Amino acid sequence: MSFVIFVVFVFAVFFRPTTHYATRMANPTLAILNGRIWSNGPATAIALAGDRIVAVGSDREIRSLCSAETRILDAAGGSVLPGFNDAHVHLESSGGNLLGIDLREARDEADFARRLGRYLADQPAGRWIRRGIWDHENWPSHRLPTRQVLDPVSPRHPVFLSRLDGHVAVANSLALAAAKIDRHTADPAGGRIGRESDGTPNGLFFDTALALIRQAMPAATESDRLEAIETGLRHAAAHGLTSLQAMCGTGEYDLLRRLEQSGRLPIRVRAILPPEVLDGGTGFQPVAGRQEENPQAESLCHLKKSPQAESLCHQGFLRTGAIKLFADGSFGAATALLFEPYDDRPDSSGLAIYEPGQLEELIGRIDAAGLQAAVHAIGDRAVDRVLTAFERVLAAGGRRQARHRIEHAQMVRPADRARFGAAGLIASIQPSHCIDDLRWISNRLGGRCRMAYPYRSLAAAGAPIALGTDWDVEPLNPMLTLYAAITRQTTAGDPPAGWFADETVTLAQAIRDYTFGSAYAEFAEADKGTLEPGKLADLVILSRDIAACAPAELLATRPRATIAGGRVVFEA
C-alpha cells in the first residue's frame, strides 16, 4: 500500500467523526472509557460483549449501553489500540531463554566467560546448558566466541549457546565430544563448522550445522517445554500482544494444541510449521493443485486422521496453514547470501540453504497443497532467488491469492522492490533489526547499506507489510518496534537525523502494519487488526496517548491492560 494511502488513513482516523455500533447490540461485558481510541473517527470509549467489539464512541454513549454487570476500565487518557500482532516470533526458544542465561550484556569475551561461569556454578554437573543467547557485536573485538572461551568455565557441563539471531552457535569441548564431532566431520549442505587451521572444530556452528550438536542433546522434558511456552505467552501478553505468528516445530505445535484444549492459551497463536510436514510425518496430507475458493478462510491444509493430530488448521486461539523455509543465514553470522562478498570478510558472500531449483520445488509443493509459504531471506541475492522462485511458481499456475511471504527482506535491491507487490508477496519485516544492527552493519556491507532495511521503499512499491520482532533476536516490546520504524535511531538517539531517514514511516503506518498488516498476513483481517464493531475484542490499553508524545517517550510507554477475546489477560 502506498504512502499516500497511509496519509489518507491518518486523516480518516483523526478527522472523520463517526460513532460505530454493532448491528445487533449486546449488553457489554466490559467497557473502556477515557481513552484515545485508535479507530475510524474521534472516540474515547469502546464496549465489548463476550469476545467481540460491540460499540465505539464517546464516554457518554458507551456508558449508556452499560449495565451494573459491565466491568469498566479507565484508560486514563492512554491510547487504546488493536492488540499488537507480531508476525514473526520464536515462541518456545524465546520463552526458554527467559528462563536461562542472558549473555547479551556481556562486554567482551572475558565478561562472557565470567557470567557463564557464575551461572554454571548453580547448575547440576552434567546438565546440558542450551538456554541462553549472546551477541559478539557488543564486544570491542567483534570476534565470535570459540570453545577456548567456554572450556575454562565449563568443565562439568556440555554447553551449546546461540547468538541472538540463531544462525551461529558455540559449543564447548564436552558438547563436541558428546556429538562425536571432530576434524573428520563434514560440513552439511547449507551450513558450516568453524575450524582451526588444522581442521579441528573450534566450537562454532553456522546455520544447518547447528543440527549436528542439537541431535546429540537429550530431549527437553515435556514439562520444561510447556514452561518455556507459557512463560513466553505471559511475556507477550504483558507487552500488549494479543496475537503471535510463531515459527514452530511440530512438537511445539502439539504442545500449543494441548494448551489451547485446556484453556491455557492467553493470546492467539498462528503456528508456522517446518517443511517436514509436507512429507506426511505429522499427519499432513497435501492435495495437489488445490485452489482456495476463499483466500481468507483458514481451511488451508488437510490432515490424515491420526491420534497425533486432530486438525492442523483450527479456528480459535490456535491456527496454522503456513510453512517456513530458509533461503540463507543472517548478517550477524555473516551467512546472509549476497551478490558480492562482505566488506569485512572478502572471502565470503554468505550461505545458500537451498539451491534455486530446490526452493522453487518446495514453494511449488507448498502452494499446490493450499498452504502459505513463509521464506526467510535476508541478503540481496537470497531475496532475488526467493522472488524468482515465487514468480516461477505463479507463472506455472500457482495461486495468486496465497499471500506468500518473505521473512525479513533486510537487503533488497531497488529494482526488486516492486516485485513483491506484483507477485502479491507480503514483506514480513522487523524494524528493530535495523536499529540494533546499525552499530556494526556498515563494516559488513559498506555502501550497500543504502539497500538495507527498506521499510518505506517496500511499502511505497506496493508490498503489503507485516511487522514483528523475530523475538528473541530482538526484544518483543512493540514500543521499541514502533520507535525503530519512525526514527531509525538507537535507543540513545543515534544518529540524530536517523540512519537513512528517508526509510522511516509515520506512526500511523507502523501501527497499521503491526495490527491490520499482520492480520492480513495470516488471513485474519476480517476478524482483527482494527477496532470496529463485530471484530474480535483483542486490544491493548497503553499508559499514554502515543499519537501526542515524542518518539523517545514511546520507549517508556507500557500496557495498562491487554485484552484478548474479551478477557483481560494482563493488567498492570
Query: Which pLDDT score is estimated for 22?
Result: 52
d(CA 317, CA 313): 11
pLDDT tens for the chain, 572 residues: list them.
343 333 333 333 333 334 555 545 679 999 999 999 999 889 999 999 999 999 999 999 999 999 999 999 999 999 999 999 999 999 999 999 999 998 989 999 999 999 999 999 999 999 999 988 899 998 999 999 999 999 999 999 999 999 988 889 999 999 999 999 999 999 999 999 999 999 999 999 999 999 999 999 999 999 999 999 999 999 999 999 999 999 999 899 999 999 999 999 999 999 999 999 887 644 433 333 233 333 333 333 333 322 233 334 445 799 999 999 999 999 999 999 999 999 999 999 999 999 999 999 999 999 999 999 999 999 999 999 999 999 999 999 999 899 999 999 999 999 999 999 999 999 999 999 999 999 999 999 999 999 999 999 999 999 999 999 999 999 999 999 999 999 999 999 999 999 999 999 999 999 999 999 999 999 999 999 999 999 999 999 999 999 999 999 999 999 999 999 999 999 99
* Contact present, 540 and 559 (Cβ < 8 Å): yes
Query: 1-82+530-572 in CATH: which number?
Result: 2.30.40.10
Q: Extract the C-alpha cell encoding 218.
A: 537429550
Query: Which pLDDT score is estimated for 164?
Result: 86
* Contact present, 66 and 108 (Cβ < 8 Å): no
d(CA 39, CA 532): 7
> How does DSSP classify residue 516?
I
Grid-cell match 491456527, residue found: 319
- The dihedral sign for the CA sequence 555, 502, 472, 261: positive
Question: What does each C-alpha distance from 301 to 284, 452, 562 come to in angstroms?
Answer: 8, 35, 31
CA 33 to chain centre: 32
Return the SS3 of 407.
Answer: strand
Q: Extract the C-alpha cell encoding 255.
A: 504442545
Q: Which residue spans of the chain are classified as CATH 3.10.310.70?
A: 98-214
Question: What does each C-alpha distance from 191 to 134, 351, 403, 568 come to in angstroms?
Answer: 20, 7, 29, 44
Query: Which pLDDT score is estimated for 20?
Result: 55
Query: Which pLDDT score is estimated for 280?
Result: 65
Query: Which pLDDT score is estimated for 166?
Result: 87
Grid-cell match 522453487, residue found: 360
Query: Which pLDDT score is estimated for 41?
Result: 84
Q: Which residue spans of the chain are classified as CATH 2.30.40.10?
A: 1-82+530-572
Is domain 98-214 given the CATH code 3.30.365.10 in the classification?
no
Residue 298 sits at φ, ψ, to 5 deg, of -100, 15
Taken as a whole, the chain contains a residue count of: 572
d(CA 352, CA 355): 7
